[in-house]
Amino acid sequence: MIPFHMAFAIDDKEAARHFYGDVIGCKVGRESDNWIDFDFFGHQISAHLNKDPKSTATSKVGNDMVPLHHFGAVLPWDQWNDLIGRLRAANWPFVMEPKVRFEGAPGEQGTFFLKDPAGNAMEFKSFKNPDGLFDH
């Protein structure tokens, strides 16, 4: 696996540390006064302090309107369910509750959406058949 890197805006570094580190379970990496890195399931994400507003655009996927601008991870089925449990234990609200989408079709997947403390939309997916990631 070749890890990706992604940088995104946050408005509170300590709230990001709590959410990504304590709630999601990511290891904290390097940091400075205005940014903090996390090990996001083997990938490097960098949260940078910035007060710019976030996009609220949505897009239709299946029968759902989902946040257009989002990032996340594709997790093994058990890890996906464990994360749902962690989020529920932390009383973290979902933008879209966990559900199975495209049931019985190629690309059948579990999915849910949430927002981090800065309002960045995130999607976490899982495929019972991991080879179905790019099926259509």
Sign of CA dihedral 54, 60, 61, 66: positive
- Per-residue confidence band for 23, with pLDDT thresholds at 50, 70 and 90: very high
Q: Do 37 and 72 belong to one domain? A: no
- pLDDT of 136: 61
**What's the total number of domains in the chain?**
2
d(CA 19, CA 117): 7
Q: pLDDT tens, 48-94?
A: 998 776 678 888 887 888 888 899 999 999 999 999 999 999 999 99
More confident residue, 19 or 106: 19
Q: Do 43 and 10 belong to one domain? A: yes
Residue 21: closest CA among 49, 43, 40: 40
d(CA 116, CA 15): 9
Q: Do 24 and 73 belong to one domain? A: no
64-67 and 58-61: which strand pairing?
antiparallel
The pTM is what? 0.87
Residue 4 identity (one-letter amino acid): F
Q: Do 70 and 30 belong to one domain? A: no
> What residues make up the domain containing 14?
5-49
